[in-house]
Each structure stands twice: as structure tokens, then as C-alpha cells.
Copies of this chain bind each other. A is one copy, B any other.
Amino acid sequence: MTTTPLHDRIRAHVERQILSGRWPPGYRIPYEHELMQKYGCSRMTVNRAMTALATAGLILRRRRAGSFVAKPRIHAAVLTIPDIQTAIEARGERYDYQLLDTARVASRLHSSIGTELRGARRLLILRCRHFADGSVFAFEHRAINLTAVPAAAHVDFAATPPGTWLLQHVPWTEAEHRVSAGNTDAATAQLLGIEIGGACLSLERHTWRGAAGITHVRQLFPAERYDLVARFGPSVTRSIGARRKKIARAHVEHGNVIAQRDAGQMSQ
């Protein structure tokens, strides 16, 4: 057996503190010389671990001040649109939001969601709609893992869209999208304000922080109103978590897979 390099163990340790939430956004990570003493190694070794975390976007480093757990900020380094509200307003259209209903359930009742939102014992279910200039932009069905995000239980989601709140308060490390198209049935057509049989785009998204599922959301867009753009570069084999291989295998069983990289902030 070969022992994992020390710089990798240091990086993994700090990473665990962040992904578990023990070191929340804004937390000041121990100085390099403190980590030197803790691990009994030279500063170059500590520095390599911290540099890797900084390039991965998990921490921010500031001279003289120290290193800090990165906040899931909207104005991220890369220019992207973080959520539906921002997207609509960036077009110069008026954004409105409507909460339809909410429910709290034990996750076992939603077995299909529960299997994806691992570790969820309590779920918050939301249904809502987004409007652009008065017409329906998207219908949204969402589940939030209250076990992983207990603070969500006390948020007034009639006033704040859940995606916007999550994006501003919960860092995420992995996401998976499913995109598909379909003709609407009567109920869906009414929710979207289009005619029965009209095409709609379905965007399904799972979000994780480390191994814990954060949220699952399914958004339906009237076909003519939505246009999803994705940019990325080729393969980078980074291993933030151990989940990757399992999920990738699931993809193969499912169908077409396009795995992607190189992002800024995005909607939750």
C-alpha cells in the first residue's frame, strides 16, 4: 500500500471541516504556521494544500488577514446568472413570484426523492411559480432537506423564492441536472399558462454539499420562454467527494451523459 501524500491529507482534512459545515462560510482557517505545527511539516507542504483549496474555490486567501471559507456569493468571480429572478431582471423584465403551497413530510413518504436526498429525515416540499412581465416563466416543485439545512424551516418562502434563499445561504459542491422536453397535459398547461400539448422544457436538479443532499427541484418552462446555456472546458479529474464514481455509473444506466465543468455560481 502507498500512503497518501501529506499535502493531500491536510487538504482533505480542511475540506471535511468546510463541507460538513463545522467551518461555515467566513470562518478563518488556521494560519499556515499553525498548520505547520499541527502537522509537523514545512510551510511549502501546508501551502500546497491551501493553494489547491483556493483554486478549487473552497477558500479565499488574503495576505495579512488569513484564509477564509469562501461564501457562496452571487457576485462570483465568473460572470454568470445565479437564479431565475436575476435572469429575468437581467433581461429587463419584471419578476414576480408566487408560492402555491408547502408541506413538511418525513422523507420516507417521498421514497423517490428520499433516495436521492441522502440523509434526509425531514423534507420541506414547495410548489411555486416564477413570472416574467406577468406571464408564467416557470413552475417549480422543490424538496429541501431540513436535516442538512435546518435553517430553511424558519424562512418565509412566500416572500423569498427558495432557490434564491438557498443560493445565498447554503454552499454546494455537486449538482446534477436532467433536461428533457415534453408536451404538457391539461394540468401542467394551466399551471404554465399555455395551451394543452404545447412543448415545455423540464429541468430537474439535485444539489449536494459533500455527501448530504441539499435540495431537489423540478422546473417546467414554457418552451418559448426558456433557453439554457452551458459552457465548460474538458475533463478535470478533481475528487472533492467519494460520491462521483457511484453517480457516474448511475448515469450510464440511465442514458445520455454529459458531465461538465468550469462554472460560476448557479441557481439552486
Contacts and interface: CB of A to CB of B under 8 A. Distances in A.
Contacts of A181: 181-182, 199-201, 221, 223, 226
A40 interface: no
B201 A180 contact: yes
A81 interface: yes
Contact of A80 (B175, B228, B254, B258): B258
A255 B87 contact: yes
Interface string A16-56: 00000000000000000000000000001000000000011
Contacts of A227: 178-180, 254-256
A262 to B, nearest CB: 4
A229 B258 contact: yes
16 contacts: A55-B238, A76-B235, A77-B235, A77-B237, A80-B258, A171-B234, A179-B201, A180-B227, A181-B200, A181-B201, A183-B183, A229-B251, A231-B251, A233-B240, A258-B263, A259-B264
Given A90-B252, A231-B248, A235-B263, 13 more contacts: A79-B248, A87-B256, A176-B231, A177-B228, A181-B182, A182-B199, A227-B254, A229-B254, A230-B230, A230-B258, A233-B263, A236-B238, A260-B263
